[in-house]
Structure 1
Amino acid sequence: MSTTADSAVESENPNSADKIADENLTVPRRRIVVASLIGTTIEFYDFYIYATAAVSVFPILFFITDSEGAALLASMATFGAAFVARPLGAVIFGHFGDIVGRKATLVGALLTMGIATFLIGALPTVYQIGLWAPAMLTIFRFCQGLGLGGEWSGAALLASETARPGKRAQAAMWPQLGAPFGFILANGLFLLLAWGFSYDSTAIRALAADDIDAALADPFLVWGWRIPFLLSIVMVAVGLYVRLRIEETPVFAKALEKKEQAKVPVGEVFRKNWWEIILGTFIMLATYGLFYLMTTWILSYAIGSPDDGGLGYNYMNFLVLQVIAIVFFAIFVPIAGRLADAFGRRRMLMTVTVGIIIFGGTFGFWLSSENIGSGADMNVWQMLLFLSVGMSLMGLTFGPMSAYLPELFPTNTRYTGSGVAYNLSSILGAALTPFVAVWLVQNYGVWAVGAYLAFLGVLTFISLILSPETNHKSLYTEEAAS
């Protein structure tokens, strides 16, 4: 575990990462910004098109059950498989990222995600190959998780380890923008396709309950849903072109020059920085919970049948609301980067986390069918305001994470350590959240979902109290493998 004294020494180190990057006039920061932003946008696009399909398409095509609610729960379970894979991806790609370098590892992560996404688009359904279909869907989803598990920390390091002095959170926020941009691309494309095919998920799911053959004849279910998955291979080619043109970060290049790589990064980081892994995991917890409630779960709740506790709202119309709200996410990410540099990561995140806790306590007011209505009578403006508030909080809490988590770890295990913490948190805050939320609504009501978010927020707030401020900490640490 790193001590306070260690942190103080690192912050006074004249060879700080900021100074190394600033003195190296050859650092192509604009190219790095483009590479980190495009790469994470593609990765998150791939990840989110699955999330959208898991609610609107996969329950019909891949799971044969007695009820719509059971099919949705089964689909959410495969959705969660990626989050189980993400820590493993962080270990695998983190190992190479801390030994070989950030650049080459990011290329491997992008290929893993892109190929898995393309294969999902080519997958036969359960009505064509039986139980092999959901099994293969789960495997490819697992591979998506491996790719994203190695992507985030590498992109964060690419941006933060080349930042100018005092601007690290602002530089590191660029890969964070890949999340809202990827979501807008994914949902925007699904929205266009649903409009073009005149696809109404709510009506089709109701039809499937009575006449599955008639539902399966819908062109969108036959082939339209595959387009976003198949198109990902084109986006991956663009991402590869950009990433192959960047150089290694000066911080890691200096570590390579001094032969400071850890022989087994995952072993070293768990031996020396286990406390930072715990802190990082719980620092991200409320962020993950908030995002997957605002995206995956809320979609299932809004378009779900009132008989299963949903609101029965039109699928396409709700996608429009989500795309509008996600703009607030994108707006507040750069604002968060500036605030984190000005006031410190810890203080800023503690304030936002209190906001998340309060927001969780208001779910019953915002979302209960008695207050917001259902079906065509749902209060659209109330739902849009709810989504916009949640997404604004999401931008504020997510923005500084790509600076804060890497700053908790030394140079020679930073890729592994930050990736493991970030992706372990995904199991607790993301993989379980949509599934738990569906169950809570069905058994207790929508207020219980907000209480669950508030609980995650309390855990994050406690971890922030126990965490150090890293605003002025050096990213270059002379720790040779031992």
Structure 2
Amino acid sequence: MTTSPSAPRPTGPPEPSAGEGAGEADPRRLRRVALASLVGTSIEWYDFYIYGLAAIIVFGPQFFPGASTLAATLAAFGTFAVGFVARPIGGVIFGHLGDKLGRKNTLVATLLTMGISTALIGLLPTYATIGVAAPILLVLLRVLQGFAVGGEWGGAVLISVEHAPEKRRGFFGAFPQLGVPIGLIAANGAFLLLAAVVSPEALTSWAWRVPFLFSALLVGVGLYVRLKVEESPEFERSERAGSMRLPIVSVLREHSGQVLCGILIFGGITAVGYIAAVFSISYGTSQLDLPRAPLLAIVLVVALIELPLTLWFSQRADTWGLSRTVAWGAVATAVAIAAFLPLMASGSLLLIALAVAAARIASDVMWGPSAALAAQSYPPEVRYSGASVGYQLGSIFGGALAPIVVTLLLASSVGMAGASVYLVVMVALSGVGALGAAKLSRRSHAAGVTGAGGD
């Protein structure tokens, strides 16, 4: 049975939360789900990040030859940003499939889409070979990458959170979040290894393709793990109760406040993440004339430190409260990001390492618990669509635009002070979004919306 978006939801006693029953009684099942969400998102973010690094190191001269340094940087960041523009579209389409057909099958589709598009980038001829068709194809493949990531995040978070006991959702929701630093570690590690074993000329000529082609092997591993996961119990219950014909319509009509809060939460988080992980390398090499290898190493080491801290903050958030943890994390991140650009401009590798570590570790206080906070803002029948759209639009508002906006502000009359204020405001909006999401979730829970709850 299906219902229209405006039809009333089935009435009756509340469904048990995920984890009541099978999830708590079967820790092996929980571990399997956590591993599948971790492995899958790690591969997806590895693919996404190697594009960002290649855009800094290779894509300017290989796909946009003849441009000035500033123009080439903006063009590279522009193709990087195109992937973000495609992410909400992927979130809507894969979110619809995930709410209608299930989390597991949709996650298999996102992984395949990402793997194929990434491998094709590794095979793509350059401008010198096929002319203007090269950057056009590069942009199209980047769109496919963004399309895949748009559907991946929501599904991986939901299949982990919906299997978890209610009082441990923050902790288990952090496992797909770990895919970001792990993907960053793998991407930076791949380029560091290449830089160590081949010449700079070889790296920009052909060796940059190796990390992209390696993705095909990683996708095979990810599919093997992901196919062994069982479907989310909450999805199965909502499917029996009756699924909505167009979940995204219900999200925009009935949960627009939650979508806006998601945009604010993830706008600030992704802005800090990409400024610290991607912009820092570009700024250090192009403006400070620093060697690339130590900058990559700094980001890699910080990402390693983030792994246990993200899990710890997320575990504590189950006690402290998800929205309160994210809000306090926004305060800490605002302090760190205010000092980020001045520390970068010092040119000292030690101070740059401090800037990257402070910004990313402070934002981890927000990043880990934000997954469960986003998921519990919606009832199960529209949760994939709602959580995905909020996150992906936030990633455009923050992650896609932040490197471009900061680059332009630094080159303008407002300079470093204006760019720093912009970043602080972005982070402050994350805290506002977290508190707003909790308030709206409590209101929905009080109104009897099954599956939505407050902190």
Relative distance call for 1:21 and 1:272 in structure 2 (3 A) is: farther
Asked whether the equivalents of residues 118 and 213 of structure 2 are also in contact (C-alpha less than 8 Å), the reply is yes
Matches for 1:264-279 after TM superposition, within 5 Å: 264-279=246-261
Runs of at least 5 residues in structure 2 that lack an aligned partner in the other structure:
1-10
Structure 1 equivalent of residue 4 of structure 2? none
Give, in angstroms, the shift of residue 23 of structure 1.
6.0
Give, in angstroms, the shift of residue 165 of structure 1.
3.6
Superimposed CA distance per residue, residues 206-263 of structure 1 (whole angstroms, 9 cap, x where no aligned partner)? xxxxxxxxxxxx22222100000000000001111111111101111112223x2111
Structure 2 equivalent of residue 3 of structure 1? none
Structure 2 equivalent of residue 462 of structure 1? 432
Measure, in 1, the Cα distance between the counterparts of 2:237 and 2:340: 49
Structure 2 equivalent of residue 148 of structure 1? 149
Measure, in 2, the Cα distance between the counterparts of 1:347 and 1:50: 34
Asked whether the equivalents of residues 239 and 381 of structure 2 are also in contact (C-alpha less than 8 Å), the reply is no
Amino acid at match of 1:105: T
Measure, in 2, the Cα distance between the counterparts of 1:257 and 1:25: 23
Asked whether the equivalents of residues 27 and 162 of structure 1 are also in contact (C-alpha less than 8 Å), the reply is no
Amino acid at match of 1:219: A
Matches for 1:106-121 after TM superposition, within 5 Å: 106-121=107-122
SS at match of 2:33: helix
Correspondence 1:283 to 2:298: no
Superimposed CA distance per residue, residues 120-144 of structure 1 (whole angstroms, 9 cap, x where no aligned partner)? 0000111111111111000000000
Relative distance call for 1:198 and 1:64 in structure 2 (3 A) is: closer
Structure 2 equivalent of residue 212 of structure 1? none
Measure, in 2, the Cα distance between the counterparts of 1:321 and 1:463: 30
Asked whether the equivalents of residues 327 and 432 of structure 2 are also in contact (C-alpha less than 8 Å), the reply is no
Structure 2 equivalent of residue 46 of structure 1? 47
SS at match of 2:263: helix
Q: Which of 271, 276, 290 lines up with 1:313 in the alignment?
A: 290
Asked whether the equivalents of residues 337 and 359 of structure 2 are also in contact (C-alpha less than 8 Å), the reply is no
Structure 2 equivalent of residue 189 of structure 1? 190
Asked whether the equivalents of residues 409 and 418 of structure 2 are also in contact (C-alpha less than 8 Å), the reply is yes
Give, in angstroms, the shift of residue 478 of structure 1.
4.8
- Return the TM-score normalized by structure 2: 0.91
Measure, in 1, the Cα distance between the counterparts of 2:168 and 2:27: 18
What RMSD over aligned residues (CA atoms) do the two structures have, in Å?
Answer: 2.2
Asked whether the equivalents of residues 21 and 161 of structure 1 are also in contact (C-alpha less than 8 Å), the reply is no
Matches for 1:34-183 after TM superposition, within 5 Å: 34-183=35-184
Matches for 1:82-481 after TM superposition, within 5 Å: 82-199=83-200, 218-258=201-241, 260-304=242-286, 310-368=287-345, 372-373=346-347, 379-443=348-412, 444-468=414-438, 478=450
SS at match of 1:166: helix
Amino acid at match of 1:240: L
Amino acid at match of 2:409: L
SS at match of 2:405: helix
Aligned residues: 437
SS at match of 1:16: coil
Asked whether the equivalents of residues 362 and 447 of structure 1 are also in contact (C-alpha less than 8 Å), the reply is no
Measure, in 2, the Cα distance between the counterparts of 1:282 and 1:39: 26
Measure, in 1, the Cα distance between the counterparts of 2:401 and 2:21: 41
Give, in angstroms, the shift of residue 325 of structure 1.
1.5
SS at match of 1:17: coil
Asked whether the equivalents of residues 248 and 385 of structure 2 are also in contact (C-alpha less than 8 Å), the reply is yes
Amino acid at match of 1:346: S
Asked whether the equivalents of residues 284 and 344 of structure 2 are also in contact (C-alpha less than 8 Å), the reply is no
Relative distance call for 1:296 and 1:23 in structure 2 (3 A) is: closer
Amino acid at match of 1:367: M
Asked whether the equivalents of residues 107 and 243 of structure 1 are also in contact (C-alpha less than 8 Å), the reply is yes
SS at match of 2:124: coil
Amino acid at match of 1:178: G
Measure, in 1, the Cα distance between the counterparts of 2:15 and 2:116: 43
Asked whether the equivalents of residues 285 and 428 of structure 1 are also in contact (C-alpha less than 8 Å), the reply is yes
Structure 2 equivalent of residue 206 of structure 1? none
**What percent identity do the matched residue pairs reach?**
36
Measure, in 2, the Cα distance between the counterparts of 1:464 and 1:33: 24
Amino acid at match of 1:116: S
Superimposed CA distance per residue, residues 30-79 of structure 1 (whole angstroms, 9 cap, x where no aligned partner)? 11111100000000000000010111110110002341111110111010
Most deviating of 422-431 and 18-27: 18-27
Superimposed CA distance per residue, residues 411-449 of structure 1 (whole angstroms, 9 cap, x where no aligned partner)? 100000000000010111011111112112222433433
Runs of at least 5 residues in structure 1 that lack an aligned partner in the other structure:
1-8, 200-217, 305-309, 374-378
Most deviating of 45-54 and 356-365: 356-365
Asked whether the equivalents of residues 328 and 395 of structure 1 are also in contact (C-alpha less than 8 Å), the reply is no
SS at match of 1:76: helix
